[in-house]
Chain A
Amino acid sequence: QKEVEQNSGPLSVPEGAIASLNCTYSDRGSQSFFWYRQYSGKSPELIMSIYSNGDKEDGRFTAQLNKASQYVSLLIRDSQPSDSATYLCAVNGKYNFNKFYFGSGTKLNVKP
């Protein structure tokens, strides 16, 4: 079982819609959760971090964490074509908080 699972997509949404990206993780002791955006041929860039249960909002982005169900989600409101990218979910390890495990990413296409 992979430590972090994501649907590879592609997820297609029309411009202006809400895009919902999901991630599940296997290590119940993980404490740090992150979403990164990666454009083709570029390096990952941090979008959001979340450390406690509930929602965290930053502009058009909302991260949601449910530790009991072991899932993290990212909502993108008012999706723009510039949001088209691969979104990577990352969590840290239970016994080694300094190690990070990444999902394989979900490709998002926002259609004009």
Chain B
Amino acid sequence: DAGITQSPRHKVTETGTPVTLRCHQTENHRYMYWYRQDPGHGLRLIHYSYGVKDTDKGEVSDGYSVSRSKTEDFLLTLESATSSQTSVYFCAISVGEGMGEQFFGPGTRLTVL
């Protein structure tokens, strides 16, 4: 257990509304990641962070923004949710200066109607 929690665990929202997902870790890992998982696509990186206020885009970053004001929290925001953003979202931390193993949170199931 890498001490990673995600909130909320489930959310249903309507198209056009803003949504923020929270990832919290208890072990001060520098690297944190947001992925989405859809059938047939595996895990796809949305954004990641390599320190407080340091973030970078992943392969599917359009429509998403992130913030990291504290080491322990990494927020993912959907500015205006669309049905194509219905997915399961996983947060992860990486050990070994970001090149090492990743450990995942329990996931958030988001449905955009």
Contacts and interface: CB of A to CB of B under 8 A. Distances in A.
A73 B48 CA distance: 27
Contacts of A101: 45, 59
Contacts of B103: 46
A103 B42 contact: yes
9 contacts: A34-B101, A34-B102, A43-B104, A45-B104, A90-B43, A98-B98, A98-B99, A100-B94, A101-B59
B48 A90 contact: no
A102 B101 contact: no
Q: Give the interface residue-count category, chain A.
A: 20 to 34
A90 B106 contact: no
A90 B102 contact: yes
B34 interface: no
Nearest to B98: A98
A49 B100 contact: yes
Contacts of B58: 99
A102 B59 CA distance: 11
B50 interface: yes
Contacts of B29: none
Interface of A: 4, 6, 8, 31-32, 34, 42-46, 49, 88, 90, 92, 96-105
Interface residues of B, number: 26
Contact of A105 (B35, B42, B90, B106): B42
A101 B99 CA distance: 12
B6 to A, nearest CB: 9
B98 to A, nearest CB: 4
A65 B107 CA distance: 30
B41 A98 contact: no
Contact of B40 (A44, A45, A100, A104): A104
B74 interface: no
Given A32-B99, A43-B104, A98 B90 contact: no
Given A98-B31, A98-B48, A98-B50, A44 B43 contact: yes
Nearest to A32: B99
Interface string B27-44: 000010101000011111
